[in-house]
Every structure is written in C-alpha cells, then in structure tokens.
C-alpha cells in the first residue's frame, strides 16, 4: 500500500467531520478553528508558498489532540491555496495507522506531506513541542518544570507556530527540490 494512494480516500475537513463526527466532536473542532488567529507575518509567509503540497492527516473526530490541532491546518490552507489538506479516519484505515505508528502506538494526528506527484516529503505528528512542554510542566510537578514556556503566550498560538514551522519546512524542501525546479522551470 502506498500512503499517497490513501490521499484519494481522504476527505476535506467538512466532509470528514460530516462523516465521522457527531455534534459534540464537531463543536470542539469548530471551537479551535474559530480560535486560530494567524498573525500578519504568518499570513505573509503562507502567501509565499508556491508548490502544491498534499497533507494527509490521519485523525479521529473523537480525538482531543486532533480537535485542538487539525483545524489549524485548514487555516493554513485558507492562506495558502497550494496546501491540499485531507483527513483519513484512523479507525477506518487500520492499514495506514499501522504504517504511521509513533513510539510503537496508534497516535493521532499524524500528518504525511507529499509533493504534487505523490512523493513523500516528511511526517510529523502526535503533539507539538509546545504541547509537550505544557504537558511536562503540568504532569511532572513544580520540581520538574521546564521553564521554557512563555508567560502570556496562549498555548494554541504556540502550537499553531509549531505546525507552521513543519508546513514551512516542507514547502521549502519542495521549492528547492532539483526535480521540481526542473519540472517547473524555476
């Protein structure tokens, strides 16, 4: 099984939620979507994206980590139409889940980035560094606080930037690819 073949089975955000989400799940995803505010600098960066990027997101409508992260991707795609984001239900596509395990477990969300012609570029998933820093601080007690979090900076804004860093990295990999530069004459 080619993971890119799964892109054809995957659904846009609204269709994914319609098929796999109930009202409660949809409300959680919608709340995150409404809270995601891209900065002018982030919008400007996304506006520079030129290479079509296919992002296959393995997710679960029921998943709290998905609800708090996946709507971010659609905000990116609004600002950069070259981003094609599609969602694949983890439970309905066990073959993909088994290929995308993280640390030996079935984790979501996992994003697999592909070029316009289906070449895998990168994978990223589970939780971002900012989310893990937040969890470490909360779950390990005062004696183990990381000291890395920035006071007053909302977690969602930090997680959004973490994900943007991944999307940007992939975009520049595609933009500088000798194969794609030759194809596009740039």
Residue stretches of the chain with pLDDT short of 50: 145-149
pLDDT tens for residues 61-107?
A: 999 999 999 999 999 999 999 999 999 999 999 999 999 999 999 99
Residue 93 lies in a domain: yes
Residue 176 lies in a domain: yes
Residue 136 lies in a domain: no
Residue 135 lies in a domain: no
Torsion on CA atoms 164, 55, 123, 42, rounded to nearest 10: -10
**What pLDDT is recorded for position 151?**
52
Residue 9 lies in a domain: yes
Both tokens assigned to 170 = 């992939």
The total domain count for the chain is 1
Residue 82 lies in a domain: yes
Q: What span, in angstroms and rounded, lies between the C-alpha atoms of 72 and 68? A: 8
* 136 to 69, 141, 143, 148: CA distances (angstroms): 18, 8, 11, 11
Residue 145 lies in a domain: no
Both tokens assigned to 87 = 């969602």
Tell me the residue range of the domain where 178 lies. 3-127+155-184
**What pLDDT is recorded for position 146?**
46
Q: Is the dihedral of CA 34, 57, 154, 105 positive or negative?
A: positive
Q: What CATH number corresponds to the domain at position 121?
A: 3.40.30.10
Decide: 128 and 163 in contact? Cβ < 8 Å: yes
Phi, psi of 104 (to 5 degrees): 75, 10
């Amino acid at each position: 099984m080619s993971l890119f073949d799964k892109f054809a089975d995957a659904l846009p955000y609204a269709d994914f939620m319609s098929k796999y989400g109930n009202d409660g799940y949809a409300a959680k995803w919608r709340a995150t979507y409404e809270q995601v505010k891209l900065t002018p600098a982030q919008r400007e960066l996304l506006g520079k994206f030129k290479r079509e990027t296919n992002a296959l997101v393995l997710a679960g409508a029921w998943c709290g980590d998905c609800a708090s992260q996946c709507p971010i991707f659609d905000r990116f795609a609004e600002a950069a139409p070259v981003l094609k984001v599609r969602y694949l239900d983890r439970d309905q596509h066990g073959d993909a889940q088994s290929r995308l395990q993280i640390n030996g477990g079935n984790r979501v969300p996992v994003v697999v980035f592909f070029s316009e012609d289906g070449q895998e570029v990168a994978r990223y998933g589970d939780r971002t560094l900012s989310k893990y820093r937040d969890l470490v601080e909360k779950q390990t007690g005062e004696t183990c606080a990381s000291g890395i979090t920035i006071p007053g900076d909302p977690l969602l804004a930090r997680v959004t930037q973490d994900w943007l860093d991944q999307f940007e990295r992939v975009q520049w990999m595609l933009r500088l690819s000798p194969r794609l530069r030759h194809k596009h004459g740039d």
